[in-house]
Structure 1
Amino acid sequence: MWRSAVACVVAGMLAITLQSCSTIRNLSEGVTHPMTPDESKAQVINAAREIIATLGLKGVSGHFSRDSCNDQAVAPFRGIVGLDYDHAPTLEASQAEVQQMVSTLKQHGWQGPGDFHTHSPAVSRQGATAVFDAYSPVQNAGGSITIYGECRDMTTKQNTVPEPIPPDQLA
């Protein structure tokens, strides 16, 4: 009789274990080393802080959002930080400024963007990619840096609207 009880307990534990493994596998869906939402946010905020400090940017403001890494707006997601700063006043000066920023960051350990595809100047480090947009007076746009994190957040359920980052979090 006790063998029957032990067998039932073992069978139950085995079922729970297999179900847990299945749940974990379904959550990660092929993403190596999934991140939590907090980890994906920290990844891009830390990269933003490093860029601001290394480049000595002035008049910086930023916003954070999460975005799906696919067209279906489902996991995986990544954190994104957009930075605005006091940029050069002309297109030519801003383009030169961006080239200097990229060069400075490369001197401090940032590298080419790897497999991140963009037509803008970009550098990557520790899974974060910074894309530089020169200021265009004609369009009155640009003069910004967008930092994209890795596509490893399997917990987030939808894209989010950009929210301001308090200045003390960028210092």
Structure 2
Amino acid sequence: MTLTNRRRTAAALAVLTTVVAPMGGCSSMSPSQPENPAVAPLTDDESRGQVVDAAKEIVRAAGLDITYANLQWEWCNDQGEPPFRTKVELAFVTPAGEDRSAQIAASVAAQPGWESGPPPGYVPAGDVVHKGGVWASIGPGNNPERGGIQIYGECRNFNDHRDTDGVEITHEIRGG
């Protein structure tokens, strides 16, 4: 191969790498993102309802004394762009040093529609339950007398929530 041909080949590979690499993305970060175009995107209210309703069901099923609940939006890719999903973080009272994660997960999994483990495509740590594409990870909290639960909705909201702050929803979760 001549020097000119090697340079042309190297230039073609550089262009190909520049064009193809960004197209790969990180779709593995968002398995619940619809790969099927027939799956409809969720509105903000639907996305919010997924995780708030799930939080209420979990609290009721496990009889939790909630000290704090926060709702926030998070992106489902590493570019910080749509699609987004909603996330609820719960803190609850537990006896100091006692990890009730497995007991809570079992109580929730016994409820209609809920199953043990994550939805297909996810491999989170800890005690996990799911209902459809909505899943919750249950574990210790940020101090010895608290437990924590993170509830994740589906990556199907295509509105731009990059500048959306979290909202405290403790009263809403406790109330019903």
TM-score by shorter chain over 0.5 = yes
Count of residues in correspondence between the two structures: 138
Tell me, in whole angstroms, the C-alpha distance in 1 between the residues paired with 2:110 and 2:35.
37
Match of 2:136 in 1: 130
Are the counterparts in 2 of residues 62 and 82 from structure 1 also a CA contact under 8 Å? yes
Match of 1:120 in 2: 126
Q: Secondary structure in 1 aligned to 2:125?
A: coil
- Give structure 1 stretches of 5+ with no counterpart: 1-27
Identity within the alignment, % = 29
Q: Secondary structure in 2 aligned to 1:117?
A: coil
Are the counterparts in 2 of residues 64 and 81 from structure 1 also a CA contact under 8 Å? yes
What is the deviation of 1:48?
0.4
1:12-71 deviation line (CA, Å, top 9, x unaligned): xxxxxxxxxxxxxxxx99662100111101110000011111111114420000000011
Question: Pairwise mapping of residues 43-82 of structure 1 onto structure 2 (< 5 A)?
Answer: 43-82=50-89
Match of 2:95 in 1: 88
The worse-fitting range, judged by mean Cα deviation, of 105-114 and 128-137 is 128-137
Q: Which runs of 4+ in 1 moved over 4 A?
A: 28-31
In structure 2, relative to structure 1, the CA distance for the partners of 1:72 and 1:141 (3 Å cut) is farther
Tell me, in whole angstroms, the C-alpha distance in 2 between the residues paired with 1:83 and 1:156.
24
In structure 2, relative to structure 1, the CA distance for the partners of 1:136 and 1:39 (3 Å cut) is closer
Highest CA radius of gyration, 1 or 2?
A: 1
Match of 2:108 in 1: 105
Are the counterparts in 1 of residues 134 and 154 from structure 2 also a CA contact under 8 Å? yes
What is the deviation of 1:84?
0.6
In structure 2, relative to structure 1, the CA distance for the partners of 1:169 and 1:86 (3 Å cut) is closer
**Is 1:154 the equivalent of 2:161?**
no
Please report the TM-score for the alignment, with normalisation by the length of structure 1: 0.72
In structure 2, relative to structure 1, the CA distance for the partners of 1:166 and 1:145 (3 Å cut) is closer
Are the counterparts in 2 of residues 113 and 123 from structure 1 also a CA contact under 8 Å? yes
What is the deviation of 1:166?
4.5
In structure 2, relative to structure 1, the CA distance for the partners of 1:108 and 1:29 (3 Å cut) is closer
Tell me, in whole angstroms, the C-alpha distance in 2 between the residues paired with 1:78 and 1:45.
12
CA RMSD between the two structures: 2.3
What is the deviation of 1:142?
6.3
Match for 1:98: what amino acid? S
Are the counterparts in 2 of residues 130 and 146 from structure 1 also a CA contact under 8 Å? yes
What is the deviation of 1:126?
3.1
Q: Secondary structure in 2 aligned to 1:143?
A: strand
